[in-house]
Amino acid sequence: MSIAVLAAVLLAAAPEPAAPAAGGKPDKPKLAVMELAAGGVEPHLAAALTESVTQEIAARGFFQVISSREIHTLLGFERQKQMVGCSNEQSCLAELADAMGARFVLSGALSRLGDALQLSIQVLDSARAQPLGRSIRIARDVAALQAQLPYAVAEATATPLPPPPSRVLPYSLIGGGALVVVGSAVVGIDGVSRDLALVRELQAGNPVLRTLPAYQAETSSISVEKTLGLVGFVAGAGLVAAGVLLNPPEAVSGPKVALVPVAGGVAVVGVWP
């Protein structure tokens, strides 16, 4: 089947384009998400991450997303390549984008690198026949990769990075807990000092200058002071620990690699913290 016939089939199956929004605002550009290829990983992991990528792109609101399921509903990708007869992956994606009325196509792969996972995605601008952006991320498991999706998607789609997470609550807990620890430490040290002074006074053999009830009241006050110091220290340490646990990681931190141009081609560079 020729490219023209395939395009006619897909366009006929596609829904009618939506009318322009009120105020004459143009429609969002369409972006088709192809299913991630599985390289040494279980296919269901690649499929699940494809859904996560699709949801992330849709949530950002820059594109009108066509999911891989919608594409497969029209025609399976492998069958599409056979029918179109394209010579390579990039030209095939360009033909599919043109047939579906989507200027941009996201493709990529989820691969296993030893004990780690690598997610590589790129977006093709079919109108210019060149990549719009690309991103490569490495993590130890799928959960860690999903945490990096907002930044990987932003890089691949050449859209703004998401705002960093708020640190007001964790910093407040850490600061407040530190103040409580310092204050309770001062109270506890004062209580211990008073206790030692009272013991030295009683052991010195000096004439009794205070009555028994006065000594009993002093002992009770010291006991309360030391207890408050200990309880406050534990509570403050708990607040500091909670703040540390709730403090989100750096937005762009984590294992990351990128392609950079070098003499004679490109090279993969990156860091593994």
The string of pLDDT tens digits covering residues 200-230 is 877 776 656 677 788 888 889 989 999 999 9
- pLDDT tens track for 32-51: 888 888 888 888 888 889 99
pLDDT > 70: what percent of the chain? 70
Measured in whole angstroms, how far is the alpha carbon of residue 236 from the centre of its chain?
29
Q: What percent of the chain has a predicted confidence (pLDDT) above 90?
A: 20
Cα 98 from Cα 129, distance rounded (Å): 11
Q: Is the pLDDT of residue 273 over 70?
A: no
Q: Please, which residues have CB within 8 angstroms of residue 184's CB and are 6 or more apart in sequence?
A: 228, 229, 230, 231, 232, 233, 235, 236
Determine how many CB atoms are found less than 10 A away from the CB of residue 107.
Answer: 23
Write down the pTM of the prediction: 0.54
pLDDT digits (tens, 9 = 90+) for 88-144: 555 666 666 666 778 888 989 999 888 888 999 999 888 887 888 899 998 888 888
Which pLDDT band, with edges at 50, 70 and 90, does 6 fall under? very low
Q: Both tokens of residue 236?
A: 């403050």
| Residue ranges covered by each domain of the chain | 3-165+250-271, 168-246
Secondary structure of the chain: what % helix, strand, coil (to 5)?
Answer: 50, 20, 30
Q: Does 3-165+250-271 carry CATH code 3.40.50.10610? A: yes
For residue 14, what is the DSSP state?
S
pLDDT, position 18:
44
